[in-house]
Every structure is written in C-alpha cells, then in structure tokens.
Structure 1
C-alpha cells in the first residue's frame, strides 16, 4: 500500500513538472480538447455584436498591447469610398486617397467591393481608420501604403498584395501639401517615424520589398490577426543596425497567421523590443524570428511548425557572433516537427505593459483556434461578424 502511495505521489510530481516547462515539443500537431471557435481577446471585443456596421468606431477600443492608445478616426466623421480611381496629386472626393490625406480625423469605409490600383504610394495622414468590413477591398498591383511622420492610424480588414515600388514624383500628403517623393521601396505597409499604429485583420502577400516595415523610431504599434503568405522578407522592425533612435521602438505582434510560402523575417528586429505572442507559423524556409544589433524579443505562446528541411528547424537567427547576452526568451511556445528556439541573455524580457495595454497570453496549443480567422473577415450587416 505504501509503495502504491509513493507511485501516485511521483506521478503527480512528474505531471506538475511537465506542465511547468516553457515550451512543448512534438513531431505532430497537437490534438487538445479545445472548445469550438473561442475568439481571441481582440475579436471577442467586437465580433459577437450584430450592430458592428452602425457602431464601427467601437473597434478602436479593442486593440491590445503597445498600440492600445491608437484612436484612428474614432472622433471623426464617417467617410465613404465610392470609387477605386486614384490621382496622387489632385485626388477626387469619394476616392481613398482623398480621405486619407485630410487633416481631420476620419473613419473611412467602402461602399462596395473594389480593387484599388494606386498610381503612387498612398500617404496616410494622422487620425485615420481604413475599415474594410462589409466589402472586399484590395490595394494591389501598384504602390501601396506609407504611414510617415504621423500618429493614430488603424488599418483593418483589407487585402494588400502584389505591391510595386512607387515612382519619383509629386504626391499629396495632406489637403494643403504636395511634395516631391523619391519613390517608395514597394512595401505593402511602411511605418516610418510614426506612433500609435494598429494593423488588424489584413491579408498581406507578394510585395516587392517587405510586407510590413516599422522603422525610424516608430513605436506603440500593434500588428494583429493578419494573414501573411507568399513572400520572402516578411516584416522588419528597425531601420538599420546603427540607427540607435529605434531603441524606443515597442511592437506587439499577436494572433497573426504566417502561412505558406514565407522565407524569413517573421519578424526581424533591430535594436528595439518585440512581444511576439500567440502567432501561428505554418513554416519558414530560412528562419522565423531573427534580429541584429541587440534587440529584445519575448516569444510567448506561439505555435511553430518547422519545415521538413533539417537545416531549417531553428526558429531563431541572430545576424551577429556576439549575441549570447541578448535577451531572447521563449515561454509557453509549442514546437512541432523538430522546431526549436535558441534562448539567450539573463533576466526577464517580458513586456512592461501598462494595465490597459496588458492582455492574457494563451498557451501555444490554443493558437490554431485563436488565429483561425486571421485576415479580412466577410462581415454581413446585421449579423455578428
């Protein structure tokens, strides 16, 4: 009887120890008894409400993480895009460009499905929301979005793909200013020297340069619920290894789905800080999370499925030789098909969120469900989305 009690006690101790491990490793996707379609904390804030179409601005209250204070056009009027036409210098009322350059806050929506082929980069002014809910909206086959030197921008529910470099020439950036531009690189979204930015539920694929760049001391950014696919250098956080102003950069990357055909930079971080939480990684060709110039990275509750290539199983990559003291840590991550994370540094790398920025990060095995609706949603008026 005593030996049986000892066995039970040892079993309990082993069970508790196993569940306290920072990550879970397996060769196959995990099959847990997860409730059907629980929503993540951002989606549950608004998607269950059938009045979303007449109460669109409530979305601005749902962001979490470093971009929590982002207002977008919450305190402005509704502006309706009725035409996909574009004129970079003298945009017409009813076009997307006419809305985003205005100096007043605006919540921009779309009258119908449309594909917008921009003639040059779309320069977005402060306090704007681009809200694609209720329509299928694509910005594609031309230059794409630039967020430069502004604050409080929300981009939600649109597809941005097949982006081309912008040409040198005149582009209007406000209702009162047209400036000469040197040409854009071909990013899907370029965030340059800006703050309080939220990019949510977008589809991003096949840009000439990066899908999302956050550079030149941009900060207070949340990138959430997006679907990334078919691209090489996916996401860059930080301008270059010597741009020390990027030390202020703080980015939350949460509930995103990194799909098929991606190679690297999910993200690559330079100098600043990134909280990478509850994202699903289907595969990568080179690596998933990389960095240089001593950034701090906290990988928490992610779901990593390594490629079959034995030389590409590692999640992490440092572009340096003296990285041992960099703070890169993993907690509650799930590793499948031989994926593994190489930690480094000492002390905590957890985000120092304020009370309003903070959110509960789910264990990694929940991620396939929490990210199952990443990308634009097909929302019907009068029904929960």
Structure 2
C-alpha cells in the first residue's frame, strides 16, 4: 500500500510539473517569483494529501453521530423556511463547536478549532493579529489602502480579518487572498457583489466565513498586487465567486452565494484538503467545479468534503462536478436542480452519505448523477457510492465501482453518517448568519 501511494504521488508530481505552466489561472506572465510560489504551493498540497481518505470520512461521520445523539425530532424531513426565533440551536458538530457561546465575538479564533473533514487542519489567521476592515472601497489594486479588505488579504503575516460594520464591497479586480488568513464576517452583513470575486492562488491555510457573495462578474486584467511584495500581470477574470487554484487547507463556511458569472466555487490545479460547509447556494448554473481538466492528472490529490450545505432555488448542475480526486458529499440538502446534482469525469471517487435529494418535476432530470457522456464500459469502474441518502420525488443515484474494495471501517470509526432523514436539522442554519455581539450567534 505504501509503495502504491509513492507511485501515485510520483505520477502526480510529474503531471503537475509538466502542466502547471500551461494552466495559468489568470496569470498573464509567470515570473521567477510566481514560479517559486507555484512550487511551494505544490509541495504544501502534497503534504496536505491524506493517503487513506476513508479515515477522514469515518472521523467526520463519528462527529455527526455524536452531535445528534439524544436530540429528539431530528429525523424530520420537512425544511422550515421560517426564521428561527428560539434560543440558540446548533444542530451539527461544526456549529456546536462555537455558535452558542454568547462571547463568540471575544473568542473569535475559537472558530479555527471547529472545522471537520479534509480541511480539518485549517487554522487560517489564528496565529495572527485582528485586522479590521473599515473601508469598503477598492480603488487601487496595486497599492491598496490600509483599512480595505484587499490590503488585509495581501499581507504576508497571518491575520484574522473582521469588519467594523456592515458593508457592500465591489471589487474592481479579483481579490487575491494569501496564506494564513481568516476572513470572518460574523457580526456584520458583508456582501462581495457587483464586481470581481475572491481568488485563493498558490496559498494555504485560509478560512472564509459568513460572507454573502453574489452578482460577481468578469473583470479586466492588468497589473494587480497578488502578495504584499509582488505585483503581477493578470488576464481577464472568469467571474467565479471563489476560485481556489493550487492551494491547500481551505475552509469555506456559512457562505450565502448566488448569481456569479462563472462558477460559485471552483477548486482546481492540485488544490486539496478543502471543506465546504454550512453554506446556502441559490440561482446559479454551474455551482461547484472540482478539477478543471480531464487531462490534468495533478488533481488526483484533490480531497474535498462538502457537508451541511443547502442547495436551493434556481440551481441547474454541478453540486459538485468532480474530476480525478476523492470527494465526500455528506448530509447536504438538495431541494432544487434542473439538470443533475452530482457529476464527474476521469474516475473521481464520490462517497455520497446521508444527503436528501428532492428531484425536480421533470422526469428526465430525476437522476442525481451525471457522468458527462462517458460510456458505461468506462464509468462502471469508478467508485460512486450512495449510503443512507434519502431519495424523494423519484430521485435516483446510479452507483458504480466495486464496494468490496472500500477500506473496512476501523474499530474506532464504525459509526456511519446520519441518514438523509436528519438533513433538515443538520442544514437548518446554512448560509450567512445574523450574529450580534453579546448574544449567541
């Protein structure tokens, strides 16, 4: 098994070395600085890669079980659309770690202890100072003004970024988020809207929490500062809400996202150790893309957890669409899609556990899975498993692969994910939260 992992990593290294310069992620010119950043990011991604991903999924499932143990009524299939007005109620293990603490604003960095899944080692800016965004403007992308979000996101040192008040930030160009940063919008109503989106490129250890990201558009390129000590020439941005490129240890939590020009979330180019949780997605076509090319074998190390999210009104496809890597899609609520929910190509491993899938009225769109035109003779060997999912309104998941090849659960990790009947409770507070200082969030 160890020899097999070494061979796999060697193949990935060769693939990344050959293809990295050709897939540019908006970079118009690779200078010596960016080539060094790309090499450092590649090494960080390989270090973040887990050789036995089933251990991670089992660990996640155990936490879900413990969080729900003894909670009455948690198996309801109804989703309450009314605002909750009772005492603090944290219904999944990530939220229970921090949300009902009335002193959350004084203990903001406690959030860094709460992530589960493949992004579980992400601490963001925990080791840094608090940086307060006081200015919503974004007028200078080469020498950003202190007090702006761009200035804080570009600093070389770790920072925990918060907001002085509610604001709408219209980014004039894509915002480059550098390593060891937390963007924490709790306590303010912060929108990234009507301009460019966020890019996490050749970075590691980033938390983005509580933002409302919508109506992101493609913006022009040019000279843009991508770190505190480097300005690079960029091409036109795609219009993604959040783009993750060649990065590792990323946690996206309690986001509300809709209406972006390209994808809501893209993770490509050997990005790995990612958790996307507690978020609410609406009104979009291509929701999540994990792996941008069938030819880029470097994405074999991609490992992503998608958990406790609500996929809601106006969504079409890619929740997510996967290539090459290992993807744990667990305890999400799929209430709307027009084409399909989960798709992929190039033999990704997809473990779907305890999700609720409510098929659309169109009989032709009730299949949850889509293998992007690959013939059955090819996709029948891909490991796509459905365990404990709740299928409603005629939804169905076409499984593939040999289940006997799955690693057996260890004696410490025998607990399976909660079934789909628990999803309404687990995802009840998805999306950006209305948090007030001095009260439980």
- Which TM-score applies when normalising by structure 2? 0.77
Q: Distance in 2 between matches of 1:282 and 1:91?
A: 41
- Structure 2 residue matching 1:54: 3-state secondary structure: coil
1:360/1:373 Cα in 2 relative to 1: closer, same or farther (>3 Å)?
farther
Partner of 2:91: 39
Q: Distance in 2 between matches of 1:222 and 1:353?
A: 22
Alignment of 1:123-202 (within 5 A): 123-202=176-255
Which deviates more, 192-201 or 167-176?
167-176
**What displacement does 1:372 show?**
1.1
Partner of 1:379: 435
- Structure 2 residue matching 1:42: 3-state secondary structure: helix
- Structure 1 residue matching 2:219: 3-state secondary structure: coil
- Structure 2 residue matching 1:207: 3-state secondary structure: coil
**What displacement does 1:89 show?**
1.1
Q: Which protein is richer in strand relative to its size?
A: 1
Partner of 2:398: 342
Query: Which residue of 271, 283, 286 maps to 2:324?
Result: 271
Q: Which runs of 4+ in 1 moved over 2 A?
A: 29-32, 347-361
Q: Are positions 1:77 and 2:124 aligned together?
A: no
Alignment of 1:111-126 (within 5 A): 111-126=164-179
Q: Which protein is richer in helix relative to its size?
A: 2
Alignment of 1:222-241 (within 5 A): 222-241=275-294
8 Å contact 1:223–1:254 — kept in the other structure?
Answer: yes
Deviations, residues 148-176 of structure 1 (Å, cap 9, x unaligned): 00000000001011011121101111111
Q: Distance in 2 between matches of 1:53 and 1:139?
A: 22
Query: Which residue of 360, 367, 370 maps to 1:314?
Result: 367
Partner of 1:304: 357
Q: Distance in 1 between matches of 2:429 and 2:406?
A: 27
**What displacement does 1:285 show?**
0.3
- Structure 1 residue matching 2:91: 3-state secondary structure: coil
- Structure 2 residue matching 1:190: 3-state secondary structure: strand
8 Å contact 2:117–2:305 — kept in the other structure?
Answer: yes
8 Å contact 1:66–1:357 — kept in the other structure?
Answer: no
**What displacement does 1:350 show?**
6.5
Partner of 2:112: 60
Partner of 2:418: 362
Partner of 2:51: none
- Structure 1 residue matching 2:340: 3-state secondary structure: coil
Partner of 2:268: 215
Q: Distance in 2 between matches of 1:358 and 1:66?
A: 19
Partner of 2:25: none
- Structure 2 residue matching 1:247: 3-state secondary structure: helix
Query: Which residue of 373, 378, 382 maps to 1:326?
Result: 382
**What displacement does 1:30 show?**
3.6
Q: Distance in 1 between matches of 2:166 and 2:358?
A: 35
Partner of 2:162: 109
**What displacement does 1:349 show?**
7.8
Q: Distance in 1 between matches of 2:113 and 2:424?
A: 25
- Which TM-score applies when normalising by structure 1? 0.88
Alignment of 1:252-271 (within 5 A): 252-271=305-324
Deviations, residues 297-321 of structure 1 (Å, cap 9, x unaligned): 0000000000000100110010111
Which deviates more, 92-101 or 81-90?
81-90
8 Å contact 2:340–2:369 — kept in the other structure?
Answer: yes
8 Å contact 2:90–2:100 — kept in the other structure?
Answer: no
1:217/1:352 Cα in 2 relative to 1: closer, same or farther (>3 Å)?
farther
Which deviates more, 162-171 or 302-311?
162-171
Q: Distance in 2 between matches of 1:358 and 1:259?
A: 32
Gaps of 5+ in 1: 1-28
RMSD over aligned Cα, in angstroms?
2.2
Q: Distance in 2 between matches of 1:197 and 1:354?
A: 27
